Amino acid sequence: MLRVADSGRFLVREDGSPFFYLGDTAWELFHRLTRAEADEYLRVRARQRFTVIQAVVLAEFDGLVVPNAYGQVPLLDLDPTRPNEAYFAHVDWVIARANELGLYVGLLPTWGDKWNQKGGRGPEIFTPENAAAYGAWLGARYRDRGVIWILGGDRPIETDRHAQIIRAMAQAIRAADGGTHLMTLHPSGGRSSSEWFHDDGWLDFNMRQNGHETRFAPRYAGTRADYDRVPAKPVLDGEPVYEDHPISFQAAEHGHSLAADVRRALYWDLFGGACGHTYGHHSVWQFYDAGRAPKNAPLCTWREALERPGAQQMQHARALLESRPFLRRLPDDSIIVPAAVATAVPGAGLGRMVATRDADRTYALVYCPAGRAFVVDLGAIAAATVAAWWYDPRTGAATPIGELPNTGRQQFVPPDAGEYLDWILVLDDASRNYPPPGTQPEAQHPKR
């Protein structure tokens, strides 16, 4: 099972080894796919080195009354205290298959419109009392499965009753599963679980939804704000901008997002202190296919979307961070020396640069989303000689720059000045002899 690291900053496995939460939003997975289709989807995401699949039991798209692929609805008479065994047999199968493939399921008991119908389909069926009963039933059923509980479901807490429903469900799940699974809350756009529940004992880590914006880059600074909260809790972005999504939900005005947009969100979050990250594709979360009503103009079917560039590039961030000491990492933008025009370096908006290092100053990473020369303070590395690399976040390739004397400030020029070609500068204590950035742990330490 998983737990929070002693530092309060990361997620770790039972033996204390790092767990990189690399999620994918598959909200309608239980509701829309057959078992054969679910297996196809899960096998691809496992191959792409995702670790968590986020899916909803009581789904958004009329999930209470429109049957799943096998003609079953989740509840009898819309009653949370009367789960339909036939529906949950399918949920069981999908969770078990994900676990077989090495994937955890980020399990949302319900989409938020079932307790706050604002902006959704509803109907509102939850009270604090039946939320507790439903939570206890779920907690007992999945006590021995590889799940991470994600409450909420894209709705804000607007009344005391909303908070009571969430707390009742959370506490009942925790009592029934013996506290063996991590738990968080998926908030609405531009918000964080920390706003309402940071001090609650059941909330193991904070989840943000920085949302489907590219114009509002400052939202991603919220990840660092959650990192700095007391007491310390891990934080990650559970719903950033999706690939091929209408930007700000306004395709006619802003078009659709690109892989470059999802990469920026990825590194802004991770280098800002996040313990992991969630990817999403606009066709995959809804499992859009021929004959199915589209939601907000998807560009392709879910199968075609599985191999989109952004989906394949997420694993390069995981590989990079796992190739260096993981559990000592912290955000530190002071590594980047501001230019005379600071909005150029460290930048602003879509060009904002971010940096991270380990507490022992043995390595530092600088993300540059634009092909622009920049200066860094080599003092971020506590060594006389620095080994420098360029890491390509599009391919995962590492190119050595060479070993440099640690003489203070040093300018670096990305290998390609293309405006959508982002780069990561890797600085190492040369005496540590770290492997090339992105070298996977199994390659560093082959299994015997």
> Over the stretch 355-393, which tens digit does the pLDDT of each residue have?
999 999 999 999 999 989 999 999 999 999 999 999 999
pLDDT at 446: 36
Domain borders along the chain are: 2-322, 329-444
Q: State which CATH number among 3.20.20.70, 3.20.20.80, 3.50.50.60, 3.40.50.2300 fits the domain covering 2-322.
A: 3.20.20.80
Cβ atoms 247, 213 nearer than 8 A: yes
pLDDT at 217: 67
pLDDT band at 339 (very low <50, low <70, confident <90, very high): very high
pLDDT at 418: 80
Taking only the tens place, the pLDDT of each residue in 219-251 is 888 999 999 999 999 999 999 999 999 999 999
Among 95-104, 163-172, 302-311, 344-353, the range scoring the smallest mean pLDDT is 344-353
The whole model's pTM is what?
0.97
Taking only the tens place, the pLDDT of each residue in 122-135 is 899 999 999 999 99
Cβ atoms 234, 6 nearer than 8 A: no
pLDDT band at 443 (very low <50, low <70, confident <90, very high): low
Mean pLDDT score of the chain:
96
pLDDT band at 447 (very low <50, low <70, confident <90, very high): very low
Written as one string, the DSSP assignment of 304-316 is: HHTT-HHHHHHHH
Query: What is the distance in angstroms between the CA of the first residue and the CA of the last residue of the chain?
Result: 24
pLDDT band at 448 (very low <50, low <70, confident <90, very high): very low
Backbone angles phi, psi at 147, to 5 degrees: -125, 160
pLDDT at 445: 40
pLDDT band at 118 (very low <50, low <70, confident <90, very high): confident
Question: What's at 347, amino acid-wise?
Answer: G
In angstroms, the CA 430 to CA 270 distance is: 24
Largest CA distance in the chain: 72
Q: Give 67: exposed, middle or buried? Use CB within 10 Å, 0-12, 13-18, 19+.
A: middle
User: Which has the higher per-residue pLDDT, 216 or 408?
Assistant: 408
Those residues with Cβ within 8 angstroms of residue 316's Cβ, 6 or more apart along the chain or in another chain: 391, 392, 393, 394, 395, 396, 438
Residue 430 pLDDT exceeds 50: yes
Residue 328: how many other CB atoms lie within 10 Å = 16
Tokens of 12: 């770790």
Residue 186 pLDDT exceeds 80: yes
Q: Once rounded to an integer, what is the mean pLDDT over residues 273-277?
A: 98
Cβ atoms 272, 265 nearer than 8 A: no
- Please state whether 241 falls in left (phi above 0), alpha (psi between -120 and 50) or beta: beta
Residue 419 pLDDT exceeds 90: no
H or E element in which residue 400 lies: strand 398-405
The two domains 2-322 and 329-444 share their CATH topology (first three levels equal): no
Residue 67 pLDDT exceeds 90: yes
In angstroms, the CA 216 to CA 199 distance is: 28
Among 191-195, 218-222, 226-230, 440-444, the range scoring the smallest mean pLDDT is 440-444
Residue 441 pLDDT exceeds 90: no
- Which CATH number does 329-444 carry? 2.60.40
Residue 137: how many other CB atoms lie within 10 Å = 19
| Residue 75 to residues 53, 57, 116, Cα–Cα distance (Å) | 23, 10, 18
Number of residues assigned to the chain: 448
